[in-house]
Structure 1
């Protein structure tokens, strides 16, 4: 039986171009895999990519077009310091200091009207509803963090009339049926403090990566039997560096805060998934398929999922995307005027120009995007056996 594949795209700001590169390799070398992707979930920039691709049917051409959009980005057209927002924040803070009650302005430190316009104008929002209703996809969904409760809300358009459920406890995402639109994507991608929060249905949201950066569970809960995951953090980024005795500076603190926003629990989730796969295999070897079905029936009677073996292909960076951002900033400044990117370099790089964690999340520039697209393409090729086995 042909397995239904879930495409899971993680959050990571400007690092999202890497996801497009991984998909680009699939479009070029394994295009028959794309029609088997029946569920798409995403967080933050993963939601941005997911919305565009799902709305256009996840065809090879849609991936090629999305890569062109990323390569054409001009940072100063998308992101900048929100001076008016800063003024409003300072004014509100001052009034509170003297005891006045004022409403907090829903602003961030950065203006992102260019990003909002890009999201609204490029995805085919009517098409997104149609591809679900007409059966191209079983479900499409985006994770966002509800500011009032801190819970993850998962906006989902599902082919079934029944709202899907998955997981238990306070950590489980809350499913919310929705006709997905730009507001849901922008809510998923509202990086705390930097980007303004977004109101959806009378509630205020910030970036879904705060609690749920790589939404595996919803993809499985909405029917996927196998997972194609693209995340944007390299294993090497977590390794310890040699102590220097020097303070790295405020920019490095901000960079690590951003890094923590997109801190991924995917290692834990994949380990648990592997344990379930091993358990199902062991039960099958011990008592055959009849015993496996008996265990599944008992679990279902207890209100648990009917666990199944889930194939996984996970593409993630083999190189440090922060270091690539630092290199790009140095090279770009040497060749052309670079307004907001100059701010990024001043904030996030040390004297040696070797660190760029924070910059890598905000460097929405076509040159950097092209570097990440090629990195994603190379890393997907390294996972071609896993991808072909889905």
Structure 2
């Protein structure tokens, strides 16, 4: 049965590596609290990095929202690191040696390595699990109206949002960001999840792209540009400040802490800045008419709900660290994970079922707790 959408609700899923399991848990809760769990409540789907993977599978299964979420739950609940990247000890050793020789010889003896990890297993799994041809069918039958996957162009130094929609004339080009109509396929997903240095960049139409969170100053923009009137944002970053006392003795941060800090900033800072910008626009609209006309466009109020973890994901990662492959544990220990005050870096790479299942459970509990707010938004 075709969907009709009176108010267009956009689902925005940012990145977060293995933390993306939390998003699946929230979606599982939503599928259970909806009056009709088969009907897709999100006509607009927008994802970045690991959020793009979850978005793509939902789009391919949008003829039955419940089935799509069940499929996501089964995939994430059965994850292991070797299903995401190659964990063979010999391969990881040779790759590490490759990096070392590159630094020592300035790239003269051996070519520059493409990445620290090889994520071919992830690509093969997504090809098997996501029916990309079904996305257009679901668009034609109006189960969804648009799907967007955001990547970062290394060549042109801008954010590129590839989208597939029912709006043939839709496109945009702004400062350092653009929207390009495209038939979404595996290349767009692999580009969007290509964490810098960790996973290899992906070539699309003679250009190389990396993780969509890089340079993405306005992560809410794609969903709004595709027509969303309301937004549900599921972030994997706890929105809790943890300020140390000035008198507390703080050791020099390890490489693991610095790496985790960089990834945490990559996936969260732009989102909360964009939400503050949206709040200011909503305030302007509230103080005037429901729609405020500017010189070239209309400003409208966008209601939204942000769902974030109620429990520290770092603590969960710390307790699940022993589940990682031995080679990865050795690498992370070498970077100072065990001496670090947080396990941010580990939490992004911990694609093990013990960890992902606990995040699914956490997301589910948070979703059920926010049942009334979710139903009000939908």
Q: Please report the TM-score for the alignment, with normalisation by the length of structure 2.
A: 0.88
Paired residue for 1:211? 215
Distance 1:22 1:64 in 2: 12
- Match of 2:77? 71
1:313 to 285, 305, 308: 305
Go from structure 1 to structure 2 and tell me whether the alpha carbon gap of 1:86 and 1:271 turns closer, same or farther (over 3 Å shift).
same
User: 2:219·2:274 contact (CA, 8 Å) conserved in 1?
Assistant: no
Per-residue Cα deviation, 1:202-226 (whole angstroms, up to 9, x for no partner): 1001101122287311101101111
C-alpha distance in structure 2 between counterparts of 1:348 and 1:87, whole Å: 19
Q: 1:89 to 1:226 in 2, by over 3 A?
A: same
Equivalent runs, 1:1-40 vs 2, <5 Å = 2-30=6-34, 32=36, 35-40=40-45
Q: CA deviation at 1:152?
A: 0.5
**Distance (Å, rounded) in 1 between the aligned partners of 2:132 and 2:215:** 26
1:363 aligns with 2:350: yes
Deviation at 1:319, TM superposition (A): 1.9
Extract unaligned runs of 5+ from structure 1: 285-291
* Secondary structure of 2:155's aligned partner: coil
Q: Who is 2:359 aligned against?
A: 372
1:235 to 224, 230, 239: 239
Following superposition of structure 1 onto structure 2, how do residues 334-345 of structure 1 map, counting pairs within 5 Å?
338-340=325-327, 342-343=329-330
Q: Is the 8 A contact 1:164 1:222 kept in 2?
A: no
Distance 1:65-1:123 versus aligned 2 partners, 3 A rule: same
Name the one with the larger helix percent.
1
What's the counterpart of residue 322 of structure 1?
314
2:296 aligned partner = 303
- Partner of residue 46, structure 1: 51
Which of 327, 330, 350 aligns to 2:338? It is: 350
Q: Distance in 1 between matches of 2:364 and 2:336?
A: 27
Match of 2:204 in 1: 200
Unaligned runs of 5+ in 2: none
> Secondary structure at 2:121's aligned position in 1?
helix
SS at match of 2:203: strand
Q: Which residue of 2 aligns with 1:288?
A: none
Which residue, 50, 56, 62 being the options, matches 2:61? Answer: 56
Q: Quote the offset at 1:95 in angstroms.
A: 6.0
| Whole-angstrom CA distance in 2 between matches of 1:244 and 1:59 | 50
- Shifted more, 25-34 versus 51-60: the winner is 25-34
5 Å-filtered alignment, 1:70-149, equals: 70-79=76-85, 80=87, 82-86=92-96, 88-89=98-99, 96=106, 104-105=112-113, 107-149=114-156
Cα distance in 2 for residues equivalent to 1:89 and 1:251: 18
SS of equivalent residue, structure 1 residue 64? helix
Question: How far apart, in 1, do the equivalents of 2:111 and 2:169 lie?
Answer: 38
1:68 to partner: Cα distance: 1.1
Q: 5 Å matches for 1:145-160?
A: 145-160=152-167
SS in 2 for 1:120: helix
Q: 1:83 offset after TM fit, Å? A: 4.5
**Alpha-carbon distance, 1:120 to partner:** 1.6
TM-score by length of 1: 0.85
Q: Judging changes above 3 Å, is the alpha-carbon distance between structure 1 residues 5 and 48 closer, same or farther for their aligned structure 2 residues? A: same
In structure 2, relative to structure 1, the CA distance for the partners of 1:45 and 1:348 (3 Å cut) is farther
How far off is 1:92 after superposition? 5.5
Is 1:257 matched up with 2:262?
yes
Q: Does the Cα contact within 8 Å between 1:314 and 1:383 map onto a contact in 2?
A: no
